[in-house]
Amino acid sequence: MMPRRGCYTTSIFIILCLLADICTSEVEVLCPPECICLSQTQVLCNSGGLHQIPLKLLPITVEHLSLTRNNFSVIKSDAFAGLKYLRKLHLDGNSISTIKPFAFRGLPRLKELSIQQTPLTTVPRFSFAGLQNLTSINLSHNKITQVESYAFAGTTNLKVIVLTNNPIVKLESNAFSGLISVERLGFPSGIRIIEPDAFSGLDTVEHLKLSFMDLPGVDASTFRGLTNIGVFSIQESDLGIIDSEAFDGVTNIKVLNFINNKIDAILGMNISQDHNIGTLKLNGNHILEIPRSETLNIIVHKLIIKSNHFPCNCHVRNLLEGPLVNGSVSEFLSENYCISPLDMNGRLMSYLDFDSILKCQEDVTRESFEASRETSAGQRNTGITELCFISVIYLLLR
């Protein structure tokens, strides 16, 4: 008697299941009671009141898992281990306050991860480490104040990181170490501390923008390690005092923008040919102290200095003899403004009375010379007084 056609179909199905390593007696019934399993590859556990991740009840074939608006407070290490087919994971709207190191280890195919609208305050060390195929992570609209060092270590294919709408205050050294494929990195406003080497190892970012920061200063090696950046913009920020070695270790930037910042002082700026900066643009900045020309070493392919405000005091000649003028004093004066004195505030620098400036410089030089003489005389008089005092004491003791 010939076997029935249905037997062949059943046998083929069982063989295919075994080959795919997904055939178990429970494959058709695995689904947490709080979830909706649209299929064995798509599971929705939204608003389910879950306090723990129902790992053992999830089908191991799941590719898209949504666990939004539940009550998870901690994502433990290896929290999703075994879900080796998972590609998309959404954890938005949970009460997540802690992510343990290597929380997402064991997810070799994960490409998209979203954790938004949670009370998470810190991106801890190694929390997103080892996700070799992850390409996008959205961490916006949380309570994040700090990104710790090596938080993304080993996640080498990450292309998009979104950190906007977080009250981030501090970026630690090596916070983005190892991210060699990032194309877009979004930061929120309000950053107050950037440790040296915070961006070390960050490579190939197409557009990096830091805005609305409130820094006491830009220290040496703050941006060290940034390389192969398309556009790097620092704008609408209080930058404090810029150290002369702030851009030490920065290479291959197509466009470097300083736009609408308040800068207390530039101790120096060392951008040599080795930095390979295409365009350096200073536009709309308020610089409260004129940088000394001998501290500025600026070698770029194109330099644009427009709409900035400088003190128009006795030291302005030092500015006009430096590299910021870019070869044309008249053009520089017609495109930049005075911030002081009060009667010149907001006026083009071309309105300056350079005869008065020259006299002012002579007065400053003379005053400095006289002050130096007085200091020297005072030091000599002090020395004589001390010698006399010692002599009197010696006579009294004899």
Per-residue pLDDT at 17 exceeds 50:
no
Q: Is residue 187 part of a domain?
A: yes
Same domain, 230 and 148: no
Q: Single out the residue in 173, 205, 237 at which a domain terminates.
A: 205
Same domain, 126 and 165: yes
- Cα 295 to the center of its chain, rounded Å: 26
- Worst-scoring range by mean pLDDT, 63-77, 103-117, 192-206? 192-206
Predicted local confidence at residue 253, as pLDDT: 95
The CATH number given to whatever domain includes residue 333 is 3.80.10
Q: Is residue 272 part of a domain?
A: yes
Predicted local confidence at residue 75, as pLDDT: 96
The residue among 247 and 4 whose pLDDT is bigger is 247
Q: Is residue 18 part of a domain?
A: no
Instruction: Tell me the average pLDDT across 66-82.
Output: 95
Per-residue pLDDT at 5 exceeds 70:
no
User: Within 10 A of 18 (CB to CB), how many other CB atoms are there?
Assistant: 10
Per-residue pLDDT at 386 exceeds 80:
no
Instruction: Tell me the average pLDDT across 27-50.
Output: 88
Q: Is residue 67 part of a domain?
A: yes
Same domain, 357 and 211: yes
Instruction: Tell me the average pLDDT across 190-209.
Output: 88
**Exposed/middle/buried for 111, CB within 10 Å: 0-12, 13-18, 19+?**
middle
Percent over 90 (pLDDT), the chain:
65
The residue among 342 and 368 whose pLDDT is bigger is 342
Predicted local confidence at residue 375, as pLDDT: 53
Same domain, 187 and 50: yes
- pLDDT band for position 358 (cuts 50, 70, 90): low
- pLDDT band for position 10 (cuts 50, 70, 90): very low
Contact call for residues 334 and 307 (beta carbons, < 8 A)? no
Predicted local confidence at residue 218, as pLDDT: 94
- Tens of pLDDT, residue by residue over 212-268, are 999 999 999 999 888 899 999 999 999 999 999 999 989 999 999 999 999 999 999
Per-residue pLDDT at 390 exceeds 50:
no
- pLDDT band for position 317 (cuts 50, 70, 90): confident
Q: Is residue 21 part of a domain?
A: no
Same domain, 166 and 77: yes
- Name, in order, each residue with C-beta under 8 angstroms of 134's C-beta and a sequence gap of 6 or more: 110, 111, 112, 113, 128, 155, 157, 158
- Tens of pLDDT, residue by residue over 146-198, are 999 999 998 989 999 999 999 999 999 999 887 888 888 888 889 999 999 99
**Domain residues for 160?**
31-205
Same domain, 261 and 353: yes
Predicted local confidence at residue 265, as pLDDT: 95
**What is the rounded distance in angstroms from the CA atom of residue 118 to the CA atom of residue 142?**
5
Predicted local confidence at residue 16, as pLDDT: 44
Strand locations in 5-145 (E): 36-37, 42-44, 64-66, 74-75, 88-90, 98-99, 112-114, 122-123, 136-138
Strand locations in 41-139 (E): 42-44, 64-66, 74-75, 88-90, 98-99, 112-114, 122-123, 136-138
Same domain, 179 and 245: no
Contact call for residues 305 and 282 (beta carbons, < 8 A)? yes
Instruction: Tell me the average pLDDT across 355-381.
Output: 56
**What is the rounded distance in angstroms from the CA atom of residue 277 to the CA atom of residue 303?**
10
Same domain, 129 and 143: yes
- pLDDT band for position 29 (cuts 50, 70, 90): low
Same domain, 191 and 263: no
In sequence order, what are the beta bridge partners of 75? 99
Predicted local confidence at residue 394, as pLDDT: 47
Structural tokens at position 117: 């609208």
Predicted local confidence at residue 3, as pLDDT: 46
Q: What is the mean pLDDT of the chain?
A: 85
Q: Is residue 2 part of a domain?
A: no
Predicted local confidence at residue 12, as pLDDT: 43
Same domain, 249 and 183: no
3-state DSSP helix/strand/coil percent for the chain, to nearest 5? 25, 25, 50
Number of domains in the chain: 2
Q: Is residue 379 part of a domain?
A: no
The CATH number given to whatever domain includes residue 75 is 3.80.10.10
Same domain, 201 and 334: no
Provide the 3-class DSSP secondary structure of residue 363: helix
- Cα 340 to the center of its chain, rounded Å: 33
With CA atoms as reference, report the closest residue to 106 among 69, 33, 55: 55
Q: Is residue 82 part of a domain?
A: yes
Q: Single out the residue in 162, 180, 205 at which a domain terminates.
A: 205
Same domain, 193 and 166: yes
Q: Single out the residue in 172, 205, 238 at which a domain terminates.
A: 205
